[in-house]
Amino acid sequence: MGFHKIMCAIDFSPGSRDALAMAAELARDANAPLVLVHAWEPMRWAIAGEIPIAPQVMQGMVDTDQAQLARWESHAKELGARNVTTRFLTGAAWDQIAFAAREDPEIDLIVMGTHGRTGLKHALLGSVAEKTVRHAPCPVLVVRAREAR
């Protein structure tokens, strides 16, 4: 099966690094564009106004994540992906990833990492990967983080 356009969701975790490697390889082999997306989600308590955060502090967090996304774009190219672009999204990660895929009907695969949480941690924190799989308009390849070597 060849892919026409691949999206890789990045949260800068070790699982994302493994997902990026897989997505870059698939994009290279299919000669397909690769879109790296990062969903920045402001802390809920900051949005609710419970603890005020200065706008310049919030902007600093955004700037840091945007710079890191640019570094990951360069890394994807080093891994062999030829046509790499990025999208910086704001909101709940699973919702923004699914929305971005629906918004671009050429995307026919989403690649993302998972932290592999189970039990109580999974119940309390939820799973971005699981919610993305449930709501995405296309197949989702979930790459589990490799154990430390």
Q: State the CATH number of the domain containing residue 14.
A: 3.40.50.620
Give burial (CB, 10 Å; 0-12/13-18/19+) of 118.
Answer: exposed
pLDDT for position 127: 85
Q: Is residue 1 part of a domain?
A: no
As a whole number of angstroms, the distance between CA 83 and CA 59 comes to 28
Q: Do the domain assignments include residue 47?
A: yes
Supply the range of the domain harboring residue 119. Answer: 6-144
Q: Does residue 149 lie in a domain region?
A: no
The whole-number pLDDT of residue 62 equals: 84
Number of neighbouring beta carbons within 10 Å of residue 74:
10
| pLDDT attached to residue 51 | 65
Asked if residue 10 belongs to a domain, the reply is yes
**Sheet of 34-40, strand order:** 84-90, 34-40, 6-9, 109-114, 140-144
Neighbours of 115 (CB within 10 A): 18
How many structural domains comprise the chain?
Answer: 1
Q: What is the pLDDT of residue 8?
A: 98
Give the pTM: 0.85
Predicted local confidence at residue 12, as pLDDT: 92
In order along its 149 residues, the chain shows pLDDT tens digits of 689 999 999 999 888 999 999 999 999 999 999 999 999 987 654 555 566 677 787 788 888 999 999 999 999 999 999 999 999 999 999 999 999 999 999 999 999 998 755 554 444 445 889 999 999 999 999 998 776 43
